[in-house]
Amino acid sequence: MSNMDTNSMTTYFTIHTGNQGFTDQMMQFSPFYKLGLGLGYQYIFTPFISDRSKPLQKNNSHQADIYDFLGFNQHFAGSKLKLENKEVETIEVELSDRIIEKNNVFSFDELKNHLNNYVITNRKTGKATFVILRLERAPPLPGKGKRMFFSLINSKFPVFQDGLDLRSIYFSARKENPMPSLFKENKCQILLHIRQGDTSFIETPWNTFIPVDSRRADFLTEQLDFDEIKSSFSNNAVDSLFQPKEYYLFLTKLLSMVEKQNFSTLCFSDGYQRAFNIINSNISRLKLSPEKKVALNEIKDQYDEKQFSIFDTLKDNKCIIGETEQSLYELINSALSADIIIVAAQQRMLPKLTANFCKGNSPIVIVLYRKNIPNYCDILKNDDERYLYTDIDNPDYNKIILAINQLKKTTSS
């Protein structure tokens, strides 16, 4: 590929993310990509790497990286330009809620002016300009986020200006490396994603409860009353805990209210292996007797089966439990073809995935919560008709059924 013309005054841009999960990185890519295009810049692809999205168990797979599986690397690799420091002047632009509020930025046009002025002020040569967009490295101020300003960009550009379609890119990659669907054919497809792992609790053989979410004030302290654990949380980032049986009860009630509809359901969960790993790594903190340590270790291998066996009663259901490379890929593949997705507020992986990858073919996403209605304005423009925030203790089934019936009309037309 040819180098850039050193006399060109074109402004180029790329996007750098931190070492986060791949949906967090894609959540940054989408608005920053729209922002750069909105400024008239030309995109230079910088490959993303997500160590955080690596599972506990890696299969022998021909896929080297999550972005290879998504087709993301392959799509952009052909347009990558060769950059050399002598050819361009690099200017890094950090953005966050704190920065834009400090500069009185409250609209997309003000954001555009702020960034243009920043680049012009910091340009020191006549070379082509290479702008790196990224989130501010400094932690957010107490009570503040770092990226709610993304809503300014997503509201201005609900879809990519150049027609980029991440979902189509994904399914093009599947033509090269097929992955069969786990759903039953010719049925309404429902996907449950039940995060447990590092946000869960373990019920001990002696009827106490050990929360393993490090963000909670009761982290790794034995609790006698589960209702107290369920109703308490240390900050707004931690909604109450959800047990697998709560998903099951919600789902079965919902299915019983939808007439003449055949469903195929998949239940994905990371399971409890990570939770037991956290406990075992901090076992001295719990001050357990030797007998209790042995008893706790004895339930480890059967704990997933005990918690998820309730789903065995469902017709046309399959459970995929555990953190493996294959299960991650199957989860993504299933989510991008599902009609309905059910998650809880303690995880945002699938809402972020569908917000970025499913514009024209979005599933209904039911987000269960307790106490705090989730705020997804940093990843969505306005998808209230697709993202249904549902109080698990008082579900509005009529609203959900109305959305399902509307989906049936849309997909059948």
CATH of the domain at 329: 3.40.50.2000
> Average pLDDT of each block of 10 consecutive residues along the chain (413 residues)?
47 89 90 96 87 55 74 80 70 94 94 94 89 90 78 90 93 93 92 93 94 87 83 60 92 85 92 94 92 94 95 93 92 94 88 84 87 76 72 91 73 51
Decide which of 156, 176, 196 is a domain's last residue. Answer: 176
Decide which of 150, 176, 202 is a domain's last residue. Answer: 176
311 inside domain: yes
271 inside domain: yes
Helix (H) or strand (E) holding 327, with range, is helix 325-335
Helix (H) or strand (E) holding 130, with range, is strand 128-135
181 inside domain: no
Residues 210, 141 share a domain:
no
Q: Write down the pTM of the prediction.
A: 0.87
Q: The domain containing residue 231 runs over which residues?
A: 188-412
Q: How far is the C-alpha of 412 from the C-alpha of 404, rounded, in Å? A: 12
183 inside domain: no
The pLDDT assigned to 378 comes to 74
The pLDDT assigned to 327 comes to 93
Residues 168, 39 share a domain:
yes
Residues 200, 169 share a domain:
no
The pLDDT assigned to 240 comes to 62
The pLDDT assigned to 34 comes to 95
The pLDDT assigned to 9 comes to 65
Decide which of 147, 176, 205 is a domain's last residue. Answer: 176
Domain tally, the chain: 2
Is residue 171 within 8 Å of 333, Cβ to Cβ?
no
What percent of the chain is helix, strand and coil (3-state, nearest 5)? 40, 15, 45
Residues 252, 145 share a domain:
no
The pLDDT assigned to 114 comes to 96
118 inside domain: yes
Query: How far is the CA of 138 from the CAs of 92, 97, 133, 145, 151, in angstroms?
Result: 14, 11, 15, 11, 20
Residues 342, 216 share a domain:
yes
105 inside domain: yes
Q: What are phi and psi of 335, to 5 degrees?
A: -65, -35
Residues 209, 169 share a domain:
no
The amino acid occupying position 243 is Q
3 inside domain: no
Residues 247, 102 share a domain:
no
The pLDDT assigned to 56 comes to 47
Question: Hey, what are 240's tokens?
Answer: 């109450």
The pLDDT assigned to 3 comes to 44
Residues 199, 133 share a domain:
no
What angle, rounded to 10 degrees, do the helices at 273-281 and 300-308 form? 140
Residues 316, 276 share a domain:
yes
Residues 135, 194 share a domain:
no
Residue 364: CB atoms within 10 A of its CB come to 21
Residues 126, 39 share a domain:
yes
Residues 151, 243 share a domain:
no
6 inside domain: no
Q: How far is the C-alpha of 341 from the C-alpha of 400, rounded, in Å? A: 12
Which residues does 88 contact at the CB level (< 8 Å), separation at least 6? 4, 12, 127, 128, 129, 130
Q: Sign (positive/negative) of CA torsion 269, 275, 276, 278?
A: positive
Query: How far is the CA of 296 from the CAs of 34, 200, 270, 278, 290, in angstroms?
Result: 50, 16, 19, 13, 10
